[in-house]
Amino acid sequence: MSMTSVSRRVSVIGVGYLGLTHAVCMADLGHDVLAIDVDSEKIARAAAGQAPFFEPGLEPLLRKHVDAGRLRFTSSFAEVAEFGEVHFLCVGTPQTPNGAADLSYLNAAAGALAPHLRSSCLIVGKSTVPVGTARALLARIQAAAPAGGAVDLAWNPEFLREGYAVQDSLAPDRFVFGTCTPSAQDTLRELYAKPLAAGIPALTMDLETAELVKVAANAFLATKISFINAMAEVCEAAGADVVRLAGALGHDERIGAKFLGPGLGFGGGCLPKDIRAFSATAAGLGVSSVPSLLGTVDAINTGRRERVVALAREAVGGSLAGKRTAVLGIAFKPNSDDIRDSPSLDICDRLRSEGALVTVHDPVAMANAARSRPDLRYAASVSEAAEGADLVLHLTEWADYRAIDPAALGQVVARRSIIDARCALDTTAWRNAGWTLRAPGRPEQVQL
């Protein structure tokens, strides 16, 4: 087992949130990196040292390695195949209309690369895929590649969180190496020699288990969020406070405080699609417990959106028609401009379908939102969004919003009424400033 730090020639296929971060981090670990994407605009921006999306800390590191010539970009699969000793597959695996994973991007990327593979190399999958994908992909690539059986494949799922992507890539809690051969394990240990030397564990296993680790981890995290949101429903019915309940539960080391934030539930490009794809895969394998469990998790999660709209309706006296609402936060979570399956955008749609006038603000996600919802009203500041509002909805818990002065904001609204859908604001401060604050799972009165 080699732990020597060796500079390798690495290609990264797909430069989205995962792939661009991975390419930059591979360069930062000392490897020579060539990255490719079918989106030529993304490639042009990245090659100019500009991150095509918002991710704290990514752009300076991208520029540094582009300037040093350690990280380059191309649109040619032939060049990638010629260059790389290791090829990382980082393309998207979105959901199909029936919830299963769409593997067409992965198959297209492998299909474009394979005919150019003339010598031995290692392909490493990082995308999130249904169990069984890797082994099938290996067989297809070996059949199409001139190098045939000299092409090896491993699965090294990625656990990064958007908003913390660079630190998570360089220093994850663990590496998962799904491999078929000892030499693939050695190559992965060389590639990640620096973080491994710093003590980050590498867990080695077969391809199928490695694929499952990723989807099982996301299923667990989604379940934890929906669990606390189910508790929020009970708290609301019983007059209890879910934030204090979650705080007390989180002190139990067997439970842990993370992913126990009640409120609006999860969204984004991973958890919703991953639990649906996992359900479809498990059902295909004849396992009914997983679709039953995750179907409930999904339904509880979607139900939170309707609950927040119901709170909004109640807050404005029963009907949202013609009411002016100010939405704070559009990104699916703070520190990201990602609006994929954003609970906030879903709520904007629901508010508008009931006739509300919706003005939105987000520190970084407005450009993405404007592309997908051009007819929403966008405000350059929180106070501009709240001007004359009958109701403010706090839907993404950016630190900026926790720093709002409720008394000052109270000067610009028509009515001091706010829904804290993320249960993240200082309820006492807002209520003391004369606001009516409602939050799912929390009592309406100030608690001692």
Ligand X SMILES: NC(=O)c1ccc[n+]([C@@H]2O[C@H](COP(=O)([O-])OP(=O)(O)OC[C@H]3O[C@@H](n4cnc5c(N)ncnc54)[C@H](O)[C@@H]3O)[C@@H](O)[C@H]2O)c1
Query: Where does this chain bind ligand X (CB under 6 A)?
Result: 13-19, 36-39, 42, 90-93, 105, 108-109, 112, 127-128, 158, 160, 162, 269-270
| Rounded least distance, CB 51 to ligand X, Å | 11
Q: Is 270 a catalytic residue?
A: yes
Using the minimum distance from each CB to ligand X, give the nearer residue, 162 or 236: 162
Are 413 and 419 a contacting pair, CB within 8 Å?
Answer: no
At which residue do the structure tokens 């939105």 appear?
360
- The two structure tokens encoding residue 205: 């296993």
Strand partners, 33: 10, 71
Angstrom distance (rounded) from CA 249 to CA 225: 13
Number of CB atoms found within 10 A of residue 74's CB: 16
Angstrom distance (rounded) from CA 266 to CA 221: 10
Angstrom distance (rounded) from CA 306 to CA 32: 49
Angstrom distance (rounded) from CA 243 to CA 440: 10
Each as own residue / partner, the long-range contacts of residues 39-44 (CB below 8 Å, 24 or more positions apart, any chain) are: 39/15, 40/75, 42/15, 42/16, 43/15, 43/73, 43/74, 43/75
Nearest residue to 18 (alpha-carbon basis) of 113, 158, 122: 158
Using the minimum distance from each CB to ligand X, give the nearer residue, 51 or 91: 91
| Rounded least distance, CB 96 to ligand X, Å | 13
| Rounded least distance, CB 408 to ligand X, Å | 35
Q: What residue is closest to ligand X based on CB?
A: 16
At which residue do the structure tokens 């979570």 appear?
333
- Cα angle value 404/407/412 (rounded, 5°): 90
Angstrom distance (rounded) from CA 322 to CA 358: 10
- The two structure tokens encoding residue 146: 């001139």
Are 4 and 190 a contacting pair, CB within 8 Å?
Answer: yes
Are 361 and 325 a contacting pair, CB within 8 Å?
Answer: no
| Rounded least distance, CB 409 to ligand X, Å | 32
Are 119 and 151 a contacting pair, CB within 8 Å?
Answer: no
Using the minimum distance from each CB to ligand X, give the nearer residue, 159 or 378: 159
| Rounded least distance, CB 268 to ligand X, Å | 7
Using the minimum distance from each CB to ligand X, give the nearer residue, 159 or 240: 159
Angstrom distance (rounded) from CA 92 to CA 48: 23
Are 246 and 228 a contacting pair, CB within 8 Å?
Answer: yes
Using the minimum distance from each CB to ligand X, give the nearer residue, 107 or 223: 107
Alpha carbon separation from 157 to 17, 19, 102, 129, 161 (Å, rounded): 14, 12, 17, 9, 13
Using the minimum distance from each CB to ligand X, give the nearer residue, 48 or 408: 48
Using the minimum distance from each CB to ligand X, give the nearer residue, 129 or 348: 129
| Rounded least distance, CB 101 to ligand X, Å | 8
DSSP single-letter state for residue 317: T
Q: Which of 121, 235, 270, 348 is catalytic?
A: 270
| Rounded least distance, CB 161 to ligand X, Å | 6
Query: Which phi and psi (to 5°) does residue 395 adopt?
Result: -115, -20
Using the minimum distance from each CB to ligand X, give the nearer residue, 125 or 440: 125
Catalytic residues: 270
